[in-house]
Amino acid sequence: MIQTAPYGLLMSDLYLFNKGCAYHSFRFMGAHVMDWDGEFGVRFAVWAPHAREVRLVGHFNSWDGSGSLMERVSSTGVWVLFVPGLGEGAVYKYEIVTSSGQRLLKADPYAFLAERRPRTASVVSDLNGFAWRDKKWMDTKHLRPAYSNPLLVYEVHAGSWQLKGKEDFLTYDELAEQLVPYAAKMGYTHIELMPLNEHPFDQSWGYQITGYYAPSSRYGQPKQLMHFIDCCHVHGIGVILDWVPGHFCKDDHGLRRFDGTPIYEGNDERLAEKPLWGTLAFDFKRNEVVSFLISNAIYWMEMFHFDGLRIDAVASMINLHMDKPPELFTWNEYGGIDNLDALRFMKRLNETVFHYYPDALMIAEDSSAWPAVTSPTYLGGLGFNFKWNMGWMNDVLRYMSTDPADRSHHHHLLTFSLLYAFSENYVLPFSHDEVVHGKRSLLNKMPGSYEEKFSQLRLLYGYWIAHPGKKLLFMGGEWGQFDEWKDRDPLDWKLLDYELHGKMHKYVKALNHVYTNEPSLWERDQDPTAFQWIDVNNAEQSIISFIRYGKHGFTVTVANFSRNGYTHYRLGVPQPGCYRMILNSNEVQFGGSDSRSLKKYNSEKMGWHGYNQSISIYLPPLSFQLFSFASGDTH
């Protein structure tokens, strides 16, 4: 016999919730429109284990909870109430009376919608009934395994990609009309949205959250977000959500000391405090918190059809000392600084997500040296399937920021990454973090004259595309935004009217399409035998060249990071035949100076770079060139 709690709650669900195994807790916690005992209304359920009383307050009772006392379900710590006559749009909070008699007004941790800031109440929203059109996309995901397919991510902050006016954001519907076709035209395979979970402060960019289940009302209603994702899938674009399970903000209406005690953040303030960000860490050993967070990951995929999550600040979750002063240091039971509870949580998170969604993307934003982040948990790994390559990003940007005249002394910054490029499944990110807080935009990191900055950015992007690993580029980078990202202002779209910015935009579009159309650049990304240096040690000339092998062909890359050009640069190649230039960053149409029409090079039987065959090419300064070779192509 199935045991039920008041108003149809199942005791089995609450048991799993208390055990940390209710991976769909959003189905019964929070506010749900339903029929109960012949009446239409809304059932509310909230976890507040140490509360003396919990009352429901809102517009419907003039914020007086005296007649809306919630019922505690035995020892579960869950309180429940059914209110007949309520429906979608009802605005509410929980009035929690703590054990000391203090009264707190709290937003619903499981609310599907929140009022638009600065208001902080929760809003009843029914997520059922959306007419999805993406069945083909969802049914064929397994035919596009991420490891052996292109992954080219456009990172977007929804609040500043475009603006209609000051704090007049595009809605999810308007983003569907404008952003989706733009990303498709530019050749991106995925859009990654910076956190959309409800957050009170715009300048947190969504990384300090109060409503984990509520898509931000800045941009509209939940079903409008569904429409946006649906449009992405119809256009053949996947959608990734930047997800923040490591910490939450301290605003009074949020999770902090939710029932008067630290139930989400834990009792030990040394573990809870994140002083660098002014936030609180989740208590990963608390079962109900594990249910809350893993359910949240499942929720975005089940209800909104997100294709994956980018998990923020993994290193901060792993390391008990990271970004903390000595007085907040703690050690684990073995005397180490690894957060064992966080590690167990991440393993269970990935196991659960892949159980329900085997084709999901679970991407770790991790700057640590923790091993086997993208290995399966049964092999001792953390179970993610991709990890940001922060080491490559830091090295290559440091190298590109160096004047070309001095680069010969820093050649290792270009080549070191290939010593570990296949140790994890990597994404190569040029993210928002690299173009804020005085770091300068990617274009403005480049030394030299105005024209040289563009030449070098084109070169950098070419090397990025050709290097093993999946790709991510932050919005604005595609036309060489000159200023840092300004989160309160729209991107500098007007720059497209300027010649070199417009040509940079054209170049990135061409580069993106070359990437997605050339299997050797992604088909064997995890296979070290699919990469081969042609010339790795040419520090004196600051030139590198290498081969990427696909299943049925290969490409040859040559990149010149110096100001010296070469009319007849000889390049060793592995097979005799015709080598077709498929991209040249120095073409006039992209802002360069090369108007030469030669696109095909027949190899000569002249040994070079350790190969029996070679080609002689024109190699401009500060340039990237990509050649394709296919078996049987001789002319």
Q: Which residues are catalytic?
A: 312, 365
Token pair for 122: 């929760």
Q: Which amino acid is at 330?
A: T
The sign of the CA dihedral 157, 447, 458, 497 is positive
User: For 512, phi and psi rounded to 5 degrees?
Assistant: -60, -45
Rg from Cα positions in the chain:
27
DSSP symbol at 473: E
Give bridge partners of residue 544 from the DSSP assignment: 559
Torsion of CA 450, 451, 453, 457, to 10 degrees: 150
- Reduced to 3 states (helix: H, G, I; strand: E, B; else coil), residue 199 is coil
- Reduced to 3 states (helix: H, G, I; strand: E, B; else coil), residue 281 is strand
| Distance (Å) of CA 280 to CA 101, 208, 232, 256, 292 | 24, 9, 34, 8, 16
Torsion of CA 138, 144, 150, 156, to 10 degrees: 20
Give bridge partners of residue 274 from the DSSP assignment: 279
Q: Which amino acid is at 623?
A: S
Terminal alpha carbon distance of the chain: 76
Token pair for 147: 């490891």
Q: CA-CA distance, 387 to 420, in Å (whole number)? A: 13
What are the start-end ranges of the H helices in 437-540? 442-445, 450-466, 499-517
Report yes or no: 297 and 240 within 8 Å, Cβ to Cβ. Answer: no
What are the start-end ranges of the H helices in 305-377? 314-318, 340-356
Q: CA-CA distance, 168 to 489, in Å (whole number)? A: 10
Q: CA-CA distance, 420 to 595, in Å (whole number)? A: 38
DSSP secondary structure, 353-368, as one string: HHHH-TT-EEEE---S
Contacts of 602 (CB under 8 A, 6+ apart): 577, 578, 579, 615, 634, 635
Geometric angle at alpha carbon 214, from 213 and 217, rounded to 5°: 170
User: For 302, phi and psi rounded to 5 degrees?
Assistant: -75, -50
